[in-house]
């Protein structure tokens, strides 16, 4: 069973990669439509603004994906599958199923809990959840403070100021270019279901 887990993870990664390729195709198809519209309407200010914003937005999205992928991969490497397979029941499970009716193995330990014991168990589980949420925040901080994302936002700011300093900045096409990637992803979620 421990050898099945990495295989399942590889299948999920392959499916994710295929989905990203579909998203990328949709991004570039919509962007090509925007380019064609700008060229046909002979509006090169719109073309420059949309493309600078699109490239910035695409780079930020790609950087976000890569940083979260790296974070998830790092966590998956640290999982001990054997320990999870043979893990003892937690306290909440003991409350929900005190007679262990839904477990495959029969355990002779059957105990009724008093109200005060249940309250103590719940307090203990809540403190574990708080510790785990803080631990999760620390582990995931690498994803939202990654070098990839910082570079993406630097490109966004640099592009904005370059357009503004050269006197070609126009807010409407810039915003349209920024929203190509998120709106494409939203549309793709409904289309590619």
Measure the CA dihedral 122/125/126/130, to 10°. 180
Highest mean pLDDT among 64-78, 89-103, 155-169: 155-169
Q: Count Cβ atoms within 10 A of the Cβ of residue 178 and give its class: 0-12 exposed, 13-18 middle, 19 or more buried.
A: buried
Rounded CA separation 8/164 (Å): 49
| CA angle 79–89–93, rounded 5-degree value | 120
Mean pLDDT score of the chain = 77
Task: Indicate the DSSP class of residue 169.
Answer: -
Domain boundaries, the chain: 4-191
Strands (E), 23-162: none
The string of pLDDT tens digits covering residues 39-79 is 999 999 999 999 999 999 988 888 888 887 777 777 777 76
| CA angle 143–146–148, rounded 5-degree value | 115
Structure tokens at 26: 């949709």
More confident of the two residues 10 and 150: 150
Q: List Cβ neighbours of 63 (8 Å cut-off, separation of 6 or more).
A: 146, 148, 149, 151, 152
Confirm if 55 and 159 have CB atoms less than 8 A apart: yes
Rounded CA separation 46/34 (Å): 9
The string of pLDDT tens digits covering residues 15-35 is 777 777 877 788 888 889 999
Residue 1: the pLDDT is: 42
| Cβ-based neighbour number of residue 18 at 10 Å | 10
């Amino acid at each position: 069973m421990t050898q099945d887990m990495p295989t399942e993870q590889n299948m999920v990664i392959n499916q994710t990669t295929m989905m990203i390729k579909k998203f990328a195709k949709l991004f570039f198809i919509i962007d090509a439509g925007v380019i064609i519209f700008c060229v046909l309407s002979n509006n090169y200010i719109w073309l420059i603004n949309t493309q600078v914003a699109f490239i910035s937005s695409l780079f930020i999205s790609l950087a976000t994906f890569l940083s979260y992928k790296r974070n998830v991969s790092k966590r998956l490497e640290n999982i001990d599958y054997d320990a999870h397979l043979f893990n003892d029941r937690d306290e909440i499970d003991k409350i929900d199923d005190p007679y262990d009716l839904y477990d495959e193995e029969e355990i002779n330990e059957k105990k009724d809990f008093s109200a005060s014991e249940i309250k103590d168990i719940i307090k203990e589980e809540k403190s574990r959840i708080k510790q785990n949420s803080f631990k999760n925040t620390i582990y995931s901080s690498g994803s939202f403070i990654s070098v990839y994302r910082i570079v993406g936002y630097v490109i966004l700011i640099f592009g904005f100021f370059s357009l503004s300093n050269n006197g070609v900045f126009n807010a409407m096409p810039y915003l349209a270019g920024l929203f190509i990637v998120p709106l494409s992803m939203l549309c793709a979620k409904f289309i590619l279901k």
